[in-house]
A and B are shown apart, each in its own frame.
Chain A
Amino acid sequence: MIFFSSIALRRLRGRTILAAPLLALAVSACFSADHRLYELRLTGEIDVAPGFPAAGRVHVEVHHQSRGDGPLLERPLGLIDAFELPALGPVDHLVTVPIDEGEGLVVYAWLDLDGDGLLCAPGAAPEPSAAVEFPDQEFLNEGAHQLDFALTLSAPCIGPERALDAS
């Protein structure tokens, strides 16, 4: 179970947050482990490859690059956060990363050209997507609480599971 206070989160922005403070101790029998959350500021730019229209909302997902333990359960990706932007262009978004639940980070995005909220619904025109990965834990380094990225949406109709290969 994840438990944290939004007040504590704001006050400790940019630092590793132990999400089991005093109140959690009072009911510690309910918790099996602490969940450390790290607040990270994502900044960057999302644009589209030539040949695609450049109008529409942008759907963005932030994933761990990998999650799970052992040869069977270790696997790529693990959704952390999803949000929308009104248009292509600059990104400035705070994401809370559960740092013990996975490794690395992936930012995936796609452009909603027809405004239906679906990536490439049946019969719709191709909509571009792309992903960028940060395999190292560099964004967790002390003092590096901001992660800059650039993403050019170029692969039509590709979900996050194949976007890194297709980009």
Chain B
Amino acid sequence: MRRLCLLPLVFALTCAESQPYGVEIDGEQIPVIDMHLHPGDWDSIPPETRSYLTERFPFPFKLNAAKLAAGILSPSGIVEELDAAGIHAGVLFAVYAPRTVGIATNELVIRGVGQYPRRLLGLASLRVDRWATDSASQLARLEAALSKEGMIGIKLAHAHMHFRMDDPAYFGIYELAGRLGKAVYLHTGSSPFPGTSREPAYTDPTYLEPAIAAYPQTIFILGHLGYDFANRQPGALEACLELARRYPNVYLEPSALGSEGSDPDGENFKKTFERIKESGVIDRVIYGSDGPQSPGFVATYLERTVAAMQAAGYTADEVRAVLSGNFVRVFGREWLIQ
């Protein structure tokens, strides 16, 4: 009996090893880079958010969420998820949002990137909750983190970190990014996490326009395409598309909005990719999943993304641009997908 159970497992592992990385479209193997992955430490997440996340873990993982998180949120756990999904490389995000999603330090990300230099890159971040007194030291620490090997940009989430997108007091972050040649990734749209800011000044990328215009040398990546996660609606999608059309330093990232929880029937996701194509900004889309979330999510999200692009009539070249081509054009490092 035991042997019978093991046989399919051995077969599956053998097959998995023989699968090439990437996704196959029209007989062409297309490489994939996932630019949005969260390492973490369960104890650095506020209790309210830990409860929220635990409820979202599938059974039986929710029975021991801390143990699951310790494995899947580690760099090795994330690389395992990339392997299972056939994804060449990923980008780890540092996060400093103590009121909402918690803390994943720059040091944690730098260690992960150092552990897997051929597979992982990183975005650094900073605290902004005591900006009047420590902005200079926070910017200095951010600059130091960005000087490390494999650190390619800055992660911000105004709704989670509670600062207005149009407040010039924080524009020094964009200035620093431009000066160092690093991109800035910004969460746009509402967020389902407890304690987030839901006012438009914290979620609507329209409020970012003064910064985008003031720092043309800085690349702004609008995460989640302004999706309204609270109401499962496209939200500020059109504002994101308009900014991408008008500003060459604006890029778009479609993570999380196409998940089963955020768009159960996949219709919003498909329409999103249709609108991207109609707007002529496919060359600005950089793929990300917002994983690992739960085991298998990274792979499932890639499948749902490819399905949405195919339903929206994307060619193989257009799929390639979204899944890795645009990333390589912005960040270089073509060796990641070779």
Contacts and interface: CB of A to CB of B under 8 A. Distances in A.
Tell whether A and B belong to one assembly.
yes
A37 interface: no
Which of A72, A76, A77 has the largest count of B CB atoms less than 10 A from its CB?
A: A72
A122 interface: yes
Contacts of A118: 199-201
A161 B128 CA distance: 9
A31 to B, nearest CB: 13
B103 A72 contact: yes
B162 A120 contact: no
B62 interface: no
Interface in A77-103: 77-79
Given A72-B103, A122-B166, A159-B167, A165 B132 contact: yes
Contacts, number: 61
B56 to A, nearest CB: 17
Contacts of A120: 166, 201
B327 to A, nearest CB: 30
B38 to A, nearest CB: 16
A162 B44 CA distance: 24
B42 to A, nearest CB: 12
Interface string A105-144: 0000000000000111110000000000000000000000
A162 B46 contact: no
A122 B98 contact: no
A162 B195 contact: no
Interface string B82-111: 000000000000000011001100000000
A75 B44 contact: no
Contacts of A68: 46, 98-99
A68 B102 CA distance: 11
Contacts of A151: none
Interface in A49-95: 67-68, 72-79
A158 interface: yes
A122 B206 CA distance: 7
A119 B201 CA distance: 8
Interface residues of A, number: 21
A165 B162 CA distance: 15
Given A159-B163, A159-B167, A77 B99 contact: yes
A121 B44 contact: no
Contact of B102 (A73, A74, A78, A165): A73
B169 interface: yes
Interface in B190-205: 195, 199-202
A68 B201 CA distance: 25
Given A119-B199, A119-B201, A75 B103 contact: no
B129 interface: yes
A162 B200 contact: no
A132 to B, nearest CB: 16
Contacts of B103: 72-73
A8 B131 CA distance: 41
B129 to A, nearest CB: 5
Which of A75, A78, A157 has the largest count of B CB atoms less than 10 A from its CB?
A: A75
Contact of A162 (B99, B167, B199, B206): B167
A77 B131 CA distance: 13
B208 to A, nearest CB: 10
B164 interface: yes
Interface in A16-74: 67-68, 72-74
B207 interface: yes
A67 B128 CA distance: 15
A76 B129 CA distance: 7
28 contacts: A68-B46, A68-B98, A68-B99, A72-B103, A73-B103, A75-B99, A76-B130, A78-B195, A118-B200, A118-B201, A119-B199, A119-B201, A120-B166, A120-B201, A121-B200, A122-B166, A122-B206, A122-B207, A157-B164, A157-B167, A159-B162, A159-B163, A159-B164, A159-B199, A159-B201, A161-B163, A162-B132, A165-B132
In the complex, the 4 A-B pairs of residues with the closest C-beta atoms, listed nearest first: A165-B132, A75-B98, A72-B103, A73-B98
